């Protein structure tokens, strides 16, 4: 039976990126800072990513710049990412595990415009002309950066 999920218990900022799933805030594995810059890598010499059980498909947020990427490969102190999101040293990051249920969050859009989403059911939909301060009552898997002009997006779990 379907239910309306507009009263979330948890919330997380959404950094649109094509094909990067929105993580649940409860799946946080690690917070830290990168200590080197290599194209499309997160490097942190103080962290053993194997010990943290980071794996391909997990999501990295650069909370300094508001960017996200998917983990493609795990090395001891490095993660190969799907996008080049670390362009300077000592930018803050959070890694989220993607061991989630099929249900995704609903969204709050602070600044309106167009919103290109992939639903939890796998459908790609472009929502056009959303107003400022609006809710999107659709369970969402990801917000695509392509064709999205909305900003200040928050996922409500």
pLDDT in tens, 82-110: 999 999 999 999 999 997 656 799 999 99
User: Mean pLDDT across the stretch 136-152?
Assistant: 97
Flag whether pLDDT at 3 surpasses 60: no
In 21-85, DSSP assigns E strands to: 28-33, 41-43, 59-62, 67-74, 78-81
CATH 2.40.30 segments of the chain: 25-96
Flag whether pLDDT at 1 surpasses 50: no
Mean pLDDT of the chain: 94
CA geometry: angle 5, 10, 15, nearest 5 deg: 95
Ranking 7-11, 14-18, 85-89 by mean pLDDT, the lowest is 7-11
**Class in CATH terms, 25-96:** mainly beta
- DSSP, collapsed to helix, strand or coil, labels residue 103 as coil
The span from the CA of 100 to the CA of 115, in Å, is 23
């Amino acid at each position: 039976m379907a239910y309306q999920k507009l009263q979330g218990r948890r919330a997380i900022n959404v950094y649109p990126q094509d094909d990067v799933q929105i993580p649940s805030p409860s799946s946080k594995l690690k917070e830290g800072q990168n200590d080197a810059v290599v194209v499309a890598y997160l490097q942190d010499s103080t962290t053993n990513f194997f010990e943290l059980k980071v794996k391909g498909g997990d999501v990295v947020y650069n909370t300094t710049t508001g960017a996200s990427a998917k983990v493609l490969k795990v090395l001891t102190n490095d993660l190969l990412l799907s996008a080049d999101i670390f362009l300077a040293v000592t930018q803050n990051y959070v890694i989220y595990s993607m061991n989630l249920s099929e249900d995704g969050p609903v969204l709050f859009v602070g600044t309106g415009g167009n919103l290109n989403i992939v639903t939890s059911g796998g459908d790609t939909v472009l929502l056009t002309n959303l107003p400022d301060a609006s809710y999107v009552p659709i369970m969402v898997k990801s917000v695509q950066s392509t064709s999205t002009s909305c900003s200040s997006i928050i996922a409500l779990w």
